[in-house]
Structure 1
Amino acid sequence: MKRISNPHRLALAIGLISASLNAHSLEDFALEEVVVTAQKRSESMQEVPVAVSAIGSEDIEALGWDNPTDVASQVPNMQVSAPLGDAQPIFAIRGISMADYNPSQASPIGVYADEAYLGSTYTHGLSMFDIERIEVLRGPQGTLYGKNTTGGAINIITRNPELDGYTTGYTTLGVEDYDGRSASMAVESPLIDGVLGARLALKTKKDEGKWDNHNGSDMAQTDYRAGRLTLNWQPTDELNALLKITSAKSTPRSSVPRAEGTLPGGMTLAGVVTDGEHYEGATDYVGKTETEMTSVNLKVSYDFENFTLVSVSSFYDADYLAETDTDGTTANLLSIDWQSDSEAFGQDLRLVSSFDGPFNFIAGLYYGHEDINTDIVHHTFFADPVVPVMLNNLSNAMNAMGNVPMADHFAALAVAAPNMGQVQRGFDVVKESYAVYTHMTYDINDNLGLTVGLRYTEDENRRNYINYSHLDHSGNPIGSWLPNNLLSTPFIAMGIDAPFVTSGLSAQTGLPAGMFLDGPYTTASGEKRSVKEDAFTGKIALDYQLNADVMLYASYSKGFRSGSFNNGLVYADQTNENGAYAAPEYVDAYEVGVKSEFFDSRVRLNANYFFYEYEDQQFVNQVGISAQLVNAGGADIQGLEVELLAMPMEGLTVQAGLGLIDAEYTELNLPRLSTPLDPADTIDLKGNQPVSSPELNFNFALDYEFQPSDAIIARAHFDGTYTDEQWFSAYNELDGHSNIRQDSYWIYNARVTLSDLAEKYALSLWVQNLTEEEYDVYAINLQGGFGYNYFLEGAPRTYGVDFTVRF
């Protein structure tokens, strides 16, 4: 593996801050202590032997965050991709991520809203309002958080009402470009002094779309509204109950991909020449992306003399609809309407000790249940009449080049194309999980501490329904692949996953080339399947307090991501051992770090080095018009992270973060996409870089608060993020994937706020993506089936003004 380079940017920043501190007299100002709940109890961030970034409400406001894709911008070694736009964010931490766009798959980065686990990725952005703090825990969190946290965890912590005092609140109104307008408000009040408090928060945001559609309504719209009622009940000194009821809905017109044709002349399979323009184009399908969630979260705690018993009960009901023009052009080449609904219940019960002595512990039980139903309302192929002509031309071209397998593939597809029609899919899974865990700390002496965590998880994943059927372009039933494909068994034996017969397969089977492999149409289910698995995960760490300002730590932790059934498009029912199910993934993580403060708590510097052994990573691999959920054999990942927070002079705060990643697959073989119907023809991808793992990422934020006059307080904010080049596919530059990547880029944001001395009124002017950087957040190779590469673009420059009244 390559040696990690020197973090010269951070060294320069530290030098400048140190010089500034030495140049100014040490007045009475310092950084505030940051309290986090990363280890399920309130602790100073500087005393927790975990790599954690905490972003408070004031910084969230200054950064202008209002969706989860923003979070990665100020956290080292954290990225986010978005296959279908902001509605379905996919996080990556330290090179651990997923490339799956199916809504039933769980991310390896656990996302929690007020300790409630959000399994479905499309729920992750719906709670992003009225936030007290966001905590990002980097590294496996297998003890206290459990499965599906091989990369880390994100805690979204919303505001709670006070029990004493007066009625308080705020209202913020905003306007921005693209005809955008927003409003948010919150009000809280003690209903019974010292006993019961309530808080109501509301938010709405809408614009007319950031993607200029030359053929109708603009796309990539924002249309979001949400509300949350929080009740804080303290009937006795010992008992507290916190109830949160959240309802959120987002119904924008969809984001549209940028299709870059890969056929001669830059054409797609529909004969359209794409121009590669960002944020504009023409689409024949104006669909919407609708996400909706109602959640209930109840946290009850009871204090005994030396213990606290904590119960966290959560439930959510979420729905998802994504209507997408997947080819992003006026041709009717490929469009998909996803629909999913999920219900989830979680129960965490734990006992937290508060002994005065050197030993303390957390011991708990956990139960989780998810029921996810996914339907493809329609998945339309090749409706444009030019497609068969293009396919025949491609077949002739492949023959001329001597590529007989691809010539056969395109020839058979040309025969089949007029009858491809639509795929109708139904897929229901239930995920059930039980766990028991303990997290123990012991102060060996005044300076040396030991942490030991252990968790046992038992999972059962059940596929209760699967049906993949064939309709014509008008939606009339033709036949079914699953469960009634009468020829699926011999094709499974040959490793073939296709809806039609190529010339090569015709010679093997005696079937006519281009024949569809349908059985009788039915809505019945294919074979129901169930998989049980269990795992031990945990952590052991030592922390050493070198002095009052410096703590050193070293840790080993193990993470586990549950196995999953393949919800991708297939045409023959596979066995659990041969494609229907991806096995669990594991990571063994080793980390050493330092947490420190200098100059009378005016500089906070935290750094760590980590090394991962990553096994059986799950990811989707697109082969022709089929989607395969596979396990990578293994990967090694090492990296360095440095975070700096400093106050070199009163009113000025400087933040900086540096992340370095060196990651490569140690074992990975995937099908060669130029021969999609020959499963034996594979490529060895050992040494390739995993997806979403740029070698260098850097972020900074500058905040300066001052008084330009006796009546006004001003706050100026400027931040930036640098992301090195990265791949969106494990193939890297091989087998036609050289463009499935993003070059390095910078994003800059700025905000200026003016308020009165009492901070009752505030006016803010802001701009995001100041330099109009054009960049992509997701890409996938669709050359084999459709003749183009699919790119999803990041947000363009936006600017606006907000006005806030506090009372």
Structure 2
Amino acid sequence: MSEKRQLCFDRKSLSAAIAGALFSGAVGAAEIEEVSVTAQKREQSVNDIGVSASAFGGEQMENLGIDSAVDIGAHTPGLVTVNSTSGGTPIFAIRGIGLDDFSPNNSSGVGIYTDEVFASNPAFLGGQLFDIERVEVLKGPQGTLYGKNTTGGAINFISRKPTSEFEAYVDAGIGNYNSRELTGVINGEIAGEVLGRLSLKSTRADGWQEDAETGREFGAVDRTAARGQLLFPFAGNGEAIAKVYFTSDKSTPVSPQVSGLGEAFGDPSFGALNSASDASEVNVGDLDVGRDESGYGASLNLSYGFENFDFIAISAVDSYRRQVVDNYGGSAAAILDLYQDNDIDQWSQEFRLVGAGDGPLTWIAGVNISEDTVDVTDRFDDSFFVTDSVASNFVLDPVDLSARGWDLLSADYEQVTRSYGAYLHTETALNESVNLIAGVRYSNDKRSFDGVSSNHDDIYSFNDTIAELHDSSSESAVTGKLGLDWMVYDDLLLYANVANSYKGGAYYGAAILDDISWAYVEPEKVLSYEAGFKATLFDASLQLNGAVFSLDYTDRQSLVTIVVDDFSNSLQFPVADTTLVNVPESQTRGFELDMQWLPTDNLTLMAGLAYLDSEVTRAPGSAEMRGIQADPGVNDGADGVNQLFVDALAAPLPAGATLSQSPEWSYNGLAAYDLPIGDDLNLRLQTSYSHSDEMTGQLADANALSGPVRSWDAEAALSDTAEQWRLSAWIKNIGDEDGETYAFSSFAGRSFYRQAPTTFGISVRYNFY
């Protein structure tokens, strides 16, 4: 069956399943368990608020096999999750709004929060997704309660908190590629009313990729994480939760594959460097690829209840250290070997008042202040050797860096960002069924950037400064939301709102080839119009949610590829460089549907569907491109080497170009059946499927197209009815799909990452009571 026909079949099957659920008229014998969320800074049922949100409880996440941040996207309509570069940190996009610049000093348009603390950098998510109470995915601009960097939405990771009831469990698993995973938790009273919870997790696995020449493995996993929490009452009507955590990642990065390199050099001997038909075959050579990362932090959450309001204070500090050697270029040649040495630090403070009255008006007011510092030392090695007297016949020598000369593009800088904000969110009951939602926020960001980008070349014995930037910026914004919630019946909520948000300005911070690539880009802004419904049907056995939306995007911060050419008249192919620009205007239109249905006590059905239609409506002109234009290049007269020059954009940015990370269709489905065995045992059989259409990782770059990505997973779990133990067998990517998950223009071709192959294993959990 062709891919096109298979895609049509999958869509029709999903549509039929949803239609059957809607019109079967069946009355379920079971009720769906509602998930309480704090999406609006107070505890509410996710089905009672006029916010497009997906929520996963901790037990549901375990049943779905969600054990990493990237897994969430497969079960959430409208959410795209990919790993940046070689998989060190997750990147999120909601409704086509996220991040296509993976420089350490940039942040996503999707705000990420762990226990209500904003993560200024995706690196802070490493090792955090375990012993989780729930995950909340809020879609659309969240500029009132959450502030900057929420143009696409926000994701809240909420850890399980200490409780007075003793709890302890061990969860251990093994699988192919020699994978081993161990999670341990202990919880309960420590002394008097003081409660504590300690959570530990360790994950190990061999690499699933192998170098065709050396036999070395890549993609190996070596991660450890720990979290400790104390909860204690104070002042008679309040409590404090203190948390500390630590994460460590010494994994071996996966490697991309590369195509077009042999053609670029015009030498058949480069064929071995091109893409392999097998996703597990890579060509890394002797580069000592590795990762040495660690993060740690602490937070204190204080809450106290007064007669008419509750007071909450949240203080946090976080630090992350990253040292990585990565085969970013995808070949055994010394082209775009990446060396990263980054220090990332942040602190934040928020004060919040939550109205507690019984009148028609409820309100939340707060202020926050934060500072984050990014200290970056990045190196790109772009060495090459001529080993033939014919200048057009090149062979790249993949020997160790210490044994030869090298050519390094370097980025050394420090960026400091200070942010301030104040907000007010209100909900007013106009009558018994209609609520008016209104909110406003003022934000101010100040950012400084001090750095140097240089090119150090042992071959020609020079160390040139490409760019030196010492700059600062200050920006402020007023954002808000206005909406109506109409509870038509007890089981049907209709809502509509208009909201806006912004993402702060940014400096492009990657190693570069030309001084025009380092500059400041203005903040991006989004204005959203949305209408939706939440219906609880068939005696609360079916939950059906839907939303339609329209997003108007102004000054989108987008990564673009420029072509640099003519290096000593030797390389007769275009060499790519990248930079950030503001795209003046773009739009996204779409809709989402998600369903959860319990037609019987034993059967669970879930499905989700998302459609996106995104495009550039006004492309950047010469002014927005900051003077990027053709330049003939000038010989510097010192070493006979022509200066690198910008020829043109690698691809134009015409009106109508699709935005990055915006697959047209994405959908997922799940079926699970609980089969009682006698009076004491239960067997749960579950299968799930997810699909995401082709998308681009970068605007108007043909090399950046990737996908589609699809996966079929299954699990069988046997447990006792007392919930003391659980034994499960699982398999992911049953079809051994090897779709491309992310792609980009590399030094002399196209680099891309692919799906991991089929993985399977067994795990056992034992609860101590």
Structure 1 and Structure 2 fold alike (TM over 0.5):
yes
Distance in 2, Cα, partners of 1:140 & 1:270: 51
CA distance in 2, matches of 1:527, 1:266: 34
Q: CA RMSD in A?
A: 2.6
Query: What per-residue deviation string (whole Å, max 9, x for no partner) do you get for residues 582-638 of structure 1?
Result: 110000000000111011111111101000100111122232343211111211101
Written as runs of structure 1 = structure 2, the 5 A alignment for 1:389-538 is 421-463=407-449, 465-473=450-458, 478-482=462-466, 526-538=468-480
Report the equivalent of 1:748.
712
Gaps of 5+ in 1: 395-417, 484-525
Give yes or no for contact 2:262–2:269 (8 Å, CA) kept in 1. Answer: no
1:37 Cα deviation from its structure 2 partner = 0.5
Shift in alpha-carbon separation, 1:389–1:251, aligned structure 2, 3 A: farther
Retained in 1: the 8 A contact 2:385–2:394? no
Are 1:581 and 2:520 counterparts?
yes
Instruction: Confirm or deny: 8 A CA contact 1:272 1:331 kept in the other structure.
Output: no
Asked whether 1:620 is paired with 2:618, we answer no
Please tell me whether residue 16 in structure 1 is matched to residue 20 in structure 2: yes
What is the deviation of 1:98?
A: 1.9
User: Which stretch of the first structure deviates more once superposed, 555-564 or 422-431?
Assistant: 422-431
Alignment of 1:179-194 (within 5 A): 179-193=178-192
The residue that corresponds to 1:632 in the other structure is 583
**Residues 129/725 of structure 1: CA separation in 2 closer, same or farther (3 Å cut):** same
Specify the alignment match of 2:656 in structure 1: 687
Deviation digits for residues 200-242 of structure 1 (CA, Å, limit 9, x no counterpart): 0000001111112231430011111000001111235411101
Matched AA of 1:531: S
Aligned match of 2:496: 554
Aligned mates of 2:11, 2:334 — CA distance in 1? 49
Establish whether residue 151 from structure 1 lines up as the match of residue 155 from structure 2.
no
How far apart in 2 are the matches of 1:269 and 1:108? 43
Specify the alignment match of 2:539 in structure 1.
600
Distance 1:466 1:645 in 2: 51
Q: 1:312 aligns with which of 305, 314, 335?
A: 314
What does residue 286 of structure 1 align with?
288
For residue 89 of structure 1, report the CA deviation from its aligned partner: 1.7
- The 1:212–1:33 alpha-carbon spacing in structure 2 relative to 1, beyond 3 Å, is same
Tell me if the contact between 1:270 and 1:384 (Cα under 8 Å) persists in the aligned partners. no
CA 1:356 to 1:275, structure 2 compared with 1: closer, same or farther past 3 Å?
A: closer
SS at match of 1:632: strand
Deviation of the 1:685 alpha carbon:
1.7
1:289 CA displacement: 2.7
**Stretch deviating more after TM superposition (748-757 or 144-153):** 748-757
Letter in 2 for 1:142: G
Partner of 2:234: 235
Deviation of the 1:290 alpha carbon: 3.1
- Offset at residue 573 of structure 1 (A): 4.8
Aligned to 2:637: none
**What is the CA-CA distance between 1:447 and the residue it aligns to?**
1.0
Match of residue 757 from structure 1:
721
Q: 2:561·2:649 contact (CA, 8 Å) conserved in 1?
A: no
Q: How far off is 1:44 after superposition?
A: 1.1
Bigger mean CA deviation after superposition, 629-638 or 378-387: 378-387
1:336 alignment partner AA: L
Aligned to 1:412: none
Question: Secondary structure of 2:21's partner?
Answer: helix
Correspondence for 1:780: 744
Q: Unmatched 5+ residue regions in structure 2?
A: 1-7, 396-403, 563-574, 633-644
Q: Distance in 2 between matches of 1:105 and 1:745?
A: 26
Match of 1:700 among 669, 681, 691: 669
**Deviation readout 1:726-785 (Å, 9 max, x if unpaired):** 2223115xxxx1x53224342111111111221212111001111101112211112xxx
Aligned amino acid, residue 457 of structure 1: S
Distance in 2 (CA, whole Å) between partners of 1:687 and 1:269 is: 38
CA contact (8 A) 1:383 1:473 kept: no
Per-residue CA deviations over 1:1-39 (Å, capped at 9, x if unaligned) read: xxxx998655522343356663x6x64x21112211100
Shift of 1:687: 0.3
Mapped to 2, the partners of 1:538 and 1:752 lie a distance apart of 46
Q: Whole-Å Cα distance in 2 between the matches of residues 387 and 325 of structure 1? A: 26
Within a 5 Å distance, the mapping from 1:259-408 to structure 2 comes to 259-261=258-260, 263-264=262-263, 271-273=270-272, 274-277=274-277, 278-284=279-285, 285-376=287-378, 378-385=379-386
Counterpart code for 1:654 = L
Secondary structure of 1:233's counterpart equals strand
Q: How far apart are residue 527 of structure 1 and its match?
A: 4.5
- Conservation of the 8 A alpha-carbon contact between 1:728 and 1:780: yes
User: Aligned partners of 1:388, 1:295: CA distance in 2, in Å?
Assistant: 57
CA pair 672-182 structure 1, distance change in 2 beyond 3 A: farther
| Equivalent residue pairs, number | 718
Contact 2:730 2:760 in 1 (8 A): yes
Secondary structure at the aligned position of 1:66 is classed as: coil
Residues 270, 386 of structure 1: 8 Å contact kept? no
Q: TM-score, normalised by structure 1?
A: 0.85
What is aligned with 2:48? Answer: 47
Q: Which residue of 2 aligns with 1:252?
A: 251
Aligned pairs (5 A) from 1:53-68: 53-68=54-69
CA deviation vs aligned residue, 1:112-149 (integer Å, no higher than 9, x gap): 11011111122223311111100000001001110001
* Change over 3 Å in CA distance of 1:442–1:59 after alignment to 2: same
Q: Is the 8 A contact 1:269 1:787 kept in 2?
A: no
1:542 aligns with 2:488: no
Greater Cα shift, 126-135 or 661-670: 661-670
Deviation at 1:286, TM superposition (A): 3.4
1:254 partner letter: P
Q: How far apart are the structure 2 equivalents of 1:757 and 1:660? A: 40
- Local SS of the residue matching 1:13: helix
- Cα deviation digits, residues 413-448 of structure 1 (max 9, x gap): xxxxx9871123211100100011100110011111
| More strand by percentage | 2
Structure 2: distance between partners of 1:119 and 1:332: 32
Distance (Å, rounded) in 1 between the aligned partners of 2:302 and 2:388 = 61
Equivalent residue letter for 1:106: S
Structure 1 residue aligned with 2:401: none
Larger CA deviation: 233-242 vs 99-108: 233-242
Amino acid at match of 1:201: S
Read off the aligned partner of 2:201 and give its amino acid letter.
K
The 1:571–1:745 alpha-carbon spacing in structure 2 relative to 1, beyond 3 Å, is closer
Q: How many angstroms apart in 2 are the aligned matches of 1:773 and 1:766?
A: 17
Which residue matches 2:120?
119
Distance 2:84 2:246 in 1: 24
Alpha-carbon deviations, 1:47-96, whole Å to 9, x = none? 11110000111121122222211110111111122232331222111011
User: CA 1:269–1:156 in structure 2 vs 1: closer, same or farther (change >3 Å)?
Assistant: farther
Match of 2:593 in 1: 642
DSSP 3-state at the match of 2:550: strand
Does the 8 Å contact 2:590/2:610 carry over to 1? yes
| Separation of aligned partners in 2, 1:46 and 1:673 | 55
CA separation of 1:168 and 1:536: change in aligned 2, threshold 3 A: same
Give the whole-Å Cα distance in 2 for the aligned partners of 1:360 and 1:208.
Answer: 53
**Corresponding residue for residue 686 of structure 2:** 717
| Aligned equivalents of 1:31, 1:338: Cα separation in 2 | 47
2:605 counterpart residue number? 654
| Counterpart Cα distance in 2 of 1:66 and 1:640 | 28
Q: Percent identity?
A: 28
Deviation at 1:250, TM superposition (A): 1.0
The alpha-carbon deviation at position 393 of structure 1 amounts to 8.5
